Amino acid sequence: MTKTKIAPSLLAADFGNLQRDVEMVNKSEADWHHIDVMDGVFVPNISYGMPVIKAIQKYATKPLDVHLMIVDPNRYIETFAALGAKILTVHYEACTHLHRTLQTIKANGMKTGVALNPHTNIKLLEDIINDIDIVLIMSVNPGFGGQSFIENTYNKIKALKELITRKGAKTEIEIDGGVTSANAKKLVEAGADVLVAGSFVFKSDNPTQTILDLIKATDIH
């Protein structure tokens, strides 16, 4: 059984000590650096942009998992490739021509990610699933860290897993929002491959240990 990947979300890091927090992830057992980009239009909040990601890239040694919560993400695909993104995730709700956007992400050497808001049905991915490397299921409404987990997420994971199997796709399932060691096991049992965790990791007393706790909680064999 493959290990569940853990992607600490730097949105919850201490921005005054960003280098320290990026290096904590480097040295930990986590797999990816999750980077949330918000534009104040697609979501009510604004997070950080290119200069900050450039600083993260300078110190990060693990793959950059970039989650774009912005309108018309097509405009910035080349920019994020140049900033070192390995996975580029766009929101289904923000893309008029999702197929074209995913082809451009691939052409720029990155893995394709598609994020779904809590209200967006898995069925909408039926005709595009074979072009998606990672589906990110939002388990809170995007825009802020520290919100509580939406329980319907388990049903969505199961429905997505069924779709992936039926279509013979190799898509991984990533869960983002309100993830803790209390729900991690149930998420993996439902079919999650990657867990994003912001507040749970960075607001804890010992983030490195909290990452280990999450890994332990997801060890279901």
Please state the residue numbers annotated as binding site for substrate: 9, 67, 143-146, 176-178, 198-199
What are the structure tokens assigned to 119, written together?
């209200």
Which of 105/184 has CB closer to ligand DX5? 184
Nearer to ligand DX5, 120 or 147 (CB): 147
Among 63, 73, 113, 143, binds ligand DX5 (CB under 6 A): 143
Task: Using the Cα atoms of residue 80, residue 125, residue 36 and residue 111 in order, give the sign of their dihedral.
Answer: negative
Position 94 contacts ligand DX5 (CB under 6 A):
no
Catalytic-role residue among 21, 36, 131, 193: 36
- Of 31, 39, 176, 193, the active-site residue reads 176
Interface positions, 23-62, toward ligand DX5 (CB under 6 A): 34, 36
Decide whether 145 or 191 has the Cβ nearer to Zn ion.
145
Sole binder of Zn ion in the list 67, 77, 122, 201 (CB under 5 A)? 67
Tokens coding 112: 């394709």
User: Between 31 and 36, whose beta carbon lies closer to Zn ion?
Assistant: 36
Minimum distance of ligand DX5 from residue 199's CB (angstroms): 3
Residues 6+ apart with CB under 8 A from 3: 215, 218
- Please say whether the beta carbons of 14 and 20 come within 8 A: yes
Indicate if 36 belongs to the active site: yes
73 binds, among ligand DX5, Zn ion, none (CB under 5 to 8 A by kind): none
Q: Are 24 and 208 in contact (CB under 8 A)?
A: yes
Six token digits for residue 61: 């040694």
* DSSP class per residue in 61-109: -S-EEEEEESSSGGGGHHHHHHTTEEEEEEEGGG-SSHHHHHHHHHHTT
Contact call for residue 135 and ligand DX5 (CB under 6 A): no
- Yes or no: say if 133 and 158 are a contact pair by the CB < 8 Å rule: no
- Using the Cα atoms of residue 23, residue 202, residue 147 and residue 212 in order, give the sign of their dihedral: positive
Does 176 qualify as catalytic in the annotation? Answer: yes
Is residue 140 a contact point for ligand DX5 (CB under 6 A)?
yes
The secondary structure element, H or E, covering residue 24 is helix 18-27
Chain positions contacting Zn ion, by CB under 5 A: 36, 67, 176
Residues noted as catalytic: 36, 176
Chain positions contacting ligand DX5, by CB under 6 A: 9, 11-12, 34, 36, 67, 140, 142-143, 145-147, 176-179, 196-200
